[in-house]
Amino acid sequence: MAEFSHFDDAGRAIMVDVGAKAETIREATARGRVAMHPETLAMIRSGGAKKGDVLGVARLAGIMAAKRTAELIPLCHPLPLTSVTVDLAPEGEDAVAISATVRTAGRTGVEMEALTAVSVAALTVYDMCKAVDRGMHLEAIRVVAKSGGKSGTFRQE
């Protein structure tokens, strides 16, 4: 098993030096979902939420969050992202599925940016709907694919 990369020999937290790494095209996709009462999803589908277009606002929140990941996660590198897509869609009768794909040409991966996009989009759905459904919960936020860099391609569902 590999060792943690964010600690020095004395066990202190460090920002990994990526200066010697080759610049490559890097991409990561993360997914998650917000589970809710069927009535809440029906309100989202009908556009009946008091705060407006829940999925549209959450999409923008996810994109904005991906761009600010380094401000939120202490040891993340600020990255010049070339693309961020966030998709939200009803799933079944009681959930919103969220997917985010992030790309850059750089020396480090964009998994954290994809995870942040999904997380903030999910939190936005919660925030916009909490007045009608306090029982909502975020589920299964995870990286499902990444490519680029020395570690190569990774996929899971």
Packed helices 38-46 and 111-129: angle between N→C axes, nearest 10 degrees: 90
Task: Compute the distance between CA of residue 131 and CA of residue 133 in angstroms, rounded to an integer.
Answer: 6
Active-site position among 8, 9, 87, 127? 127
Active site residue 127: yes
**Strands of the chain, DSSP E:** 24-35, 81-91, 95-106, 137-147, 154-155
- The single-letter code of the amino acid at 146 is K
Residues with a catalytic annotation lie at: 127
